[in-house]
Amino acid sequence: MSSLNSPHRVNPAGSSPAYSLFWVIVALALGGFGIGTTEFVAMGLIQEIAQGVGVSVPVAGYMISAYALGVVVGAPVIAILCARVPRKGLLLALMLFFTVGNAATAFAPDFHSLVISRFIAGLPHGAYFGVAALVAATLAGPAKRAQAVAHVMLGLTIATVIGVPFATWLGQHLGWRSGFIFAAGIGAVTMLAIALVLPKIAMAASASIQTELAGLKNRQMWLTLGIAAIGFGGLFSVYTFVSPLLTHYTQVSIRYVPLALAVWGLGMVSGGLVGGWLADRGMKKALYSIVFSMIAAFSIAPFLMQNFYTALVALFLMGATGMALGPALQTRLMDVAGQAQTLAASLNHSAFNIANAQGAWLGSLVISAGYGWIAPIWVGVGLSIGGLVMLMISLKLDQQPLDKQPAH
């Protein structure tokens, strides 16, 4: 984060005299750390949760889909209805909602309550990341915006290295509910950090519900979101079932699952940083490079899963190539969204969690159909190829003369 560690910079919007960009990004990334922990710990503890609430592992996967659907619903609704809400206040409110939602999950008495609480906990997810990304990109300036977005999302990826393995370990030793109590605690700390370091940011004069709604007509925005909704699916078709994949297929003890999750997380951290760096140097080349790398990583992974050490290599590669797509797509959305910036940025995380929901669902489907624990990886290959098709359509549209492009 050193390239963004300028001492104090004047707010471009003129609403705050000075701020530390470094500490702003740390505070925003801390919220991403909490969100990443709660989203992915459900996957790391899926066997413990299933046993705790008396359902099978594939059925327990539906709570992951419920969280993802909460993101899908919450992101556009909050982005549109809160178009005129100051961003600092909105981020604080979203973190409060997040904290309460995770506390509700921790004390859910049965599986149905658990599913409902996960849906509720997912509602602020997309809006938080969308607004946080816009704040970081605005304060960092045009030359560093993709890297600033990547550093905010670094909180989510660091969660996969530290937060998720720790919360998984906590859940294994103190009961699965303790993992969600931990996530709620991170949310409370994030509220304090945002209150202390984030400057007040003036709203754009054009910001309105009508402006955000107008973005729904933007076909390039929907195509870019389609890349995320399909292309990211493989990441979650595998990650959802990492625990049983390792214990039942690779034949390792469940106590090694936190280590495997940490390796996956290291891949996501590396991929997120590389993806942001590539996007600032050429968006089209970056997107093609990342998507082809995803297809390659998922294609070789099934042949590496029989041995624990080569399985760790496969998990690292899938995590890295999958997460590299995140900051690149988030930045492309800023380019194509016009004035509907908040809606587009938030919808990116709706798309990300449509991928989460469909990945978990398709993974459950192929396992339940008897294709084995390795089958979700092949689902990932297919979804990555689908993401490539959407990318080719979107970039082809970029090449059309302006008078022939669909209206924004």
Taking the domains of the chain in order of start, what are their residue ranges?
Answer: 2-404
Residues in the chain: 408
The CATH code of the domain at 2-404 is 1.20.1250.20
Does the pLDDT of residue 383 top 90, yes or no? yes
Model confidence pLDDT, tens digit, residues 278-319: 887 788 888 999 999 999 999 999 999 999 999 999 999 999
- Between 282-291, 338-347, 399-408, the lowest mean confidence (pLDDT) is in 399-408
Q: What is the mean pLDDT of residues 309-335?
A: 88
> Between the CA atoms of 25, 163, 111 and 368, what dihedral angle is there, to the nearest 10 degrees?
110
Estimate to the nearest angstrom the gap between the alpha carbon of 264 and the chain centroid.
14
Model confidence pLDDT, tens digit, residues 124-178: 988 898 888 888 887 877 767 777 888 888 888 788 778 888 898 899 899 999 9
Q: What is the mean pLDDT of residues 241-252?
A: 89
What does the pLDDT read at residue 12?
46
State the Cα–Cα distance between residues 29 and 19, nearest whole angstrom.
Answer: 16
State the Cα–Cα distance between residues 16 and 207, nearest whole angstrom.
Answer: 19
Its sign, for the CA torsion 390, 392, 394, 397, is negative
User: Looking at the whole model, is its pTM more than 0.85?
Assistant: no
**Higher pLDDT among residues 338 and 92, named by residue:** 92
